[in-house]
Chain A
Amino acid sequence: MNMLRLGIPLLIFAGLVALLVIGLQTAEDRTRVASPLVGRMAPEFTLPKLYEPETEWSTRELEGQPWLLNVWGSWCYACREEHPWMQRLEQESGIPLVGFNWKDERDDALGWLDRFGDAWTLHVRDFEGDAAIDWGVYGAPETFLVDANGIIRHKIIGPLDEEIFYDLMDRIETVREEHQS
């Protein structure tokens, strides 16, 4: 009886501590909103190009092949952090890397690319943010992998790092193999 009296509150306390520890460790993951769009068709958009604002670019131009969409802005510090990984993607991924310049002033964006280097295949500009909403974008940077069937296969929220980069490269490899076979 005495054992029970002491044991039960202790067990409950241990349980609460365990919950707290788990909660603290997964706190960062919980602020990331898993995208319900993964596994679904990538929404189409037609937006002006960043370099030639009078020309429009549509996602339809990449229909039938895998590609990457990277959401960035000159105002986004984490985009600067992941910039070296964008350069690696350009060199190693073998698929188009579309820059999605989000809620940015054109001059700021051009200045940023001039300063850090343009690693992307092309850039579109979404100042209003309607296409971004369609893609469920809620921050920058975000990176999407779209397969040859136009399906979003993977979404990365936040900057790329070494681990995320190699994981992404594996996924790109899979998507490219599917496309070739």
Chain B
Amino acid sequence: MIAAAMNKTFIPCLLVAAAIVLATLPGPADAGAIELREFSSEVEERRFRSLTEELRCTVCQNESLAESDAPLARDLRRQIHHQLQAGRSDSEIRDYMVERYGDFVLYRPPFAAHTMILWFGPVILLLAGLVAVVFAIRRRRKILENS
């Protein structure tokens, strides 16, 4: 009786769970892939992908240009595609974006005076932690020796 009732509710539950899992699986991460674009070479296509992945969409700030479906992201992808076709280099395209939207568009912050804390912060914290651990061990050793 109980087993049968469990079976009755268990199977629909399983189906719902499976549906939820399927729905939340990441779909094609690259919104740009839906747009049809012609690339003159595979290298150009790869450059397009890597550029749109490292540039941030400024309207939807936690998405890259490659992921975002915002109209502005679409415009920016088109702009990057144009510039690639016009033969501009990756760094020229990156500079073009930074000139207009600031360092903020770069997911990888530039190495500059005002970003030092970003680059060295983790290392400093790690060193501070190591120093603290060394002190703690020494102290404990002293306590053990004394007792």
Partner-B contacts on A (CB < 8 A): 31, 33-37, 103, 128-130, 132-136, 138-139
Contacts and interface: CB of A to CB of B under 8 A. Distances in A.
Interface stretch (B33-41, B45-53, B69-77): B69-77
Provide the main secondary structure of the chain B interface: helix
Given A36-B100, A130-B79, 7 more contacts: A31-B61, A34-B104, A36-B99, A37-B100, A129-B75, A132-B75, A134-B100
B61 A136 contact: no
A127 to B, nearest CB: 10
A133 B79 contact: yes
Contacts of A135: 100
Interface in B49-66: 58-59, 61
A138 B60 CA distance: 10
Contact of B104 (A33, A130, A132): A33
Given A33-B101, A34-B102, A37-B100, A138 B75 contact: no
Contacts of B104: 33-34
Nearest to B103: A36
B102 A35 contact: yes
B98 interface: yes
Nearest to A135: B100
A130 B71 CA distance: 12
B71 A103 contact: yes
Nearest to A139: B59
A135 B101 CA distance: 9
Contacts of A35: 101-102
A37 B75 CA distance: 19
A154 B61 CA distance: 23
A136 B101 contact: yes
Given A103-B71, A128-B75, A133-B76, A138 B58 contact: yes
B101 A138 contact: yes
Contact of B58 (A33, A37, A134): A33
Nearest to A137: B72
A129 B72 CA distance: 8
A37 B104 CA distance: 13
